[in-house]
Amino acid sequence: MLPDQRVKIEVVTADALAFDTELLVLKHAQVSLGVDAAAKQRLRLDQGMKLGAGNHLIVNGQPAVGAQKVVFLGVPPLQEFGYPEIRLFARRAMALAGQEFPYVQEIALTLHGAGYGLDEIACFDAELGGLVDAVRLKTVPTSLERVVILEADVGRADRLRQYLDGTFANQHGSTTLTVSARDGAGANGLRTEPAVSADRQHAFVAMPFAEEFEDRFHYGIQPSVHACGLLCERIDQEVFTGDVVSRVKQKIRSASLVVADLTGANPNVYLEVGFAWAAEVPTVLLRHRGSDLKFDVQGERCLEYTTIQDLESRLTKELRELRR
């Protein structure tokens, strides 16, 4: 009987293009975006290259990037690249590595989906699910020991590690997940297979994208939305590439509800609230105590909050009442 293969999965705070690793797997979503576009530029590849979903391109990485080899794996266009597709991407990435690099010991990937509006934790959960699938199906390289999720954003990397630590009950405060090929669980106590339902409903969050709002979103709004069983999605217009207005409209129309923070009277937020009203999507308005409301919404119910903890408490109560 072959020995049981155990693969460690962990989050590392690092620049994906500078990280020293054997193999870096990136997506190609039929356009060049973010890290994928930067990698193509450094590797002198065609930004408009044709690489259909399921197809791949393997290139030498060093010295242009830290990885010895870089794989671009074709995926559907972004508007079709949801949580199930993220899970499939991770599973295919591992299977491709098993076929092309059977003796590799470490593979690096980045988190997909969070930069263009999907729920950050659900994206991570879906990617973990694909990695676990591949280990259980024994399609990973036979020598694989470690899979690294690279994240340059310090705050996001910390949140992902907290998710690993809290959700999968890792021992001794470890922020890694060890998966066994034999039973699908590892020394760190994986309780269940990560999964995201394809039809899970979401809330759309309209808010300014400024540094002072980040903690309000991640530790005030997002936990409240998750507590009500919804995914929490938003679109950062500074990160998103493409027709952002169409994407915002699509996300609002398909949302179960919209949460809008009107603090600072951001015109984009007011525009998104107006579209939500026109689309007849239930909308919860928020503002930090002391901030002014424009005349458009002065007659509407608006939750006031003081601290982030106060925001989470009030919003959770409001959403639970709304979802009854």
Asked if 162 and 206 sit in the same domain, the reply is no
Regarding whether 176 and 237 lie in a shared domain, the answer is no
Q: How far apart are CA 169 and CA 304, in angstroms?
A: 36
Q: How far apart are CA 315 and CA 295, in angstroms?
A: 23
Of all residues in the chain, the percent with pLDDT exceeding 90 is 56
Q: Mean pLDDT across the chain, nearest whole number?
A: 86
pLDDT at site 239: 54
Query: Which of 131, 146, 180 is the last residue in one of the domains?
Result: 180
Are 154 and 272 members of one domain? no
Distance from C-alpha of 89 to C-alpha of 74, rounded to nearest angstrom: 9
Q: Residue 172's pLDDT is what?
A: 43
pLDDT confidence of residue 243: 72
Answer yes or no: is 190 within a domain: no
Number of domains the chain contains: 2
What pLDDT, in 10s, does the model give residues 33-51?
788 889 999 999 988 888 8
Q: What is the pLDDT of residue 114?
A: 85
pLDDT for 190 beyond 60 = no
Which residue type occupies 172?
Answer: H
Q: CB-based burial of residue 154 (10 Å sphere; 0-12 exposed, 13-18 middle, 19+ buried)? A: exposed
Q: Could you tell me where the beta strands, DSSP code E, fall in the chain?
A: 6-13, 21-28, 56-60, 67-74, 106-110, 146-151, 176-180, 202-206, 231-233, 257-261, 283-288, 302-305
110 located within any domain: yes
Same domain, 288 and 212: yes
Do 170 and 214 sit in the same domain of this protein?
A: no
37 and 117 co-located in one domain: yes
CATH number for the domain harbouring residue 305: 3.40.50.450
List pLDDT tens digits, range 116-164. 789 999 999 999 999 989 988 899 999 999 999 999 999 999 999 988 8
Strand partners, 193: none
Q: Answer positive or negative: Cα dihedral of 130, 5, 59, 108.
A: positive
> Residue 298 sits in which domain range?
202-322
Within-domain flag for 170 = yes
The tens digit of pLDDT for each residue in 88-98 reads 999 999 999 99
Same domain for 163 and 14, yes or no, is yes
Query: Based on the domain organization, do 33 and 148 belong to the same domain?
Result: yes
* Whether residue 100 sits in one domain with residue 38: yes
Task: Say whether both 92 and 171 belong to one domain.
Answer: yes
Residue among 217, 200, 202, 206 nearest 284 (CA):
206
Residue 262 has pLDDT above 80, yes or no: yes
pLDDT above 70 for 191: no
Residue pair 93/25 in contact (Cβ under 8 Å)? The answer is yes
Residues 162 and 223 in one domain: no
What pLDDT digit, counting tens, does each position of 274-285 carry?
A: 999 999 999 999
pTM of the predicted protein model: 0.87
